Amino acid sequence: MSILINESSRIIVQGITGRDGRFHTEKMKAYKTKIVGGTSPGKGGTEVLGIPVFNTVYQAVEETAADTSIIFVPAKMAADAIMEAADAGIQLIIYITEGIPTLDVVKAQRFVKMKGATLLGPNCPGLISPGKSMVGILPTHIFQKGNVGVISRSGTLTYEVVYQLTTNGMGQSSAVGMGGDPVTGLYFIELLQMLQDDPETEAIVFIGEIGGNAEEQAAEFITKNVTKPVVAFIAGQYAPPGKQMGHAGAIVAGGAGSAKDKVAALERAGIKVAKEPSAIPGLLKELLKK
């Protein structure tokens, strides 16, 4: 198994005719991801890379039975694109673009939940089930099928940690980049529960960063609900207090959200915290021997 996507997932690309949509559709298709259609208003009836294009998500779902959508449209159209997908019956919506106004995300997330769908992102690299499907902008050549689940707030660090795992012979069951904005869809607790329930996942790597208290909440959740080995890494340990680092969610303010506080919370929960990404495979191997 894997979480969220697999070889049977049927994906549409909203914004498939744009530069980024077309480029990443080609990469996903090369990975054997099942891209069944795309949307671009006014361009219905055409094709991109042999993939049919529809004017609306409703038409795409009706014609292709798609269950997943990845969205490549400008930030100002984000909320409408996300809500259109949810309203059309898409179950998993992945939104890549950064810079979406927070209130737009709040509105879209509320609508997605009302429709019983799931949102990943915004400002995220997507997700992959190695050897099965990739929906996003992930560099597929560094991933290897295996039994380590990876969840991360940082896209770039996802790639670094996965590279370290793969070069040390530790493949991945699923890897999910959730994004680092102040408001996002799926987050640590939901993804930790999915990996805990996944029989193919034997261990979990958890990549957090400064800002907010999601990592502290996750530490408490792991203590009560996760029985599999967990190794964590917290980015931003040398960030100056009060300075935004990278994106909107990575800011320490009001005496909360520092790397020191997050590391302390994780260690109190008995979770091994790596000092640098290259240390993660070694810590995992130690835990898996026990």
56 vs 63: CA distance, rounded Å: 11
Report the alpha-carbon distance of residue 192 to residue 214 in Å, rounded. Answer: 12
- Are 232 and 266 in contact by the 8 Å Cβ rule? The answer is yes
Task: Give the closest residue to 157 by CA, choosing from 140, 181, 179.
Answer: 179
The label of the residue with tokens 């006014």 reads 42
Question: Using CA atoms in the order 53, 54, 59, 62, what is the torsion angle rounded to 10 degrees?
Answer: -10
Q: Which residue, among 49, 47, 45, 39, has the nearest Cα to 93 in the 3D structure?
A: 39
CA 245 – CA 242 distance, rounded (Å)? 9
Residue among 223, 203, 205 at smallest CA distance from 265: 223
Selected catalytic residue, list 34, 247, 262, 272:
247
**Would you call 101 helix, strand, or coil by DSSP?**
coil
108 in Cβ contact with 76 (< 8 Å): no
247 tagged catalytic: yes
Residue 118 · residue 82 · CB < 8 Å: no
Catalytic residue IDs: 247
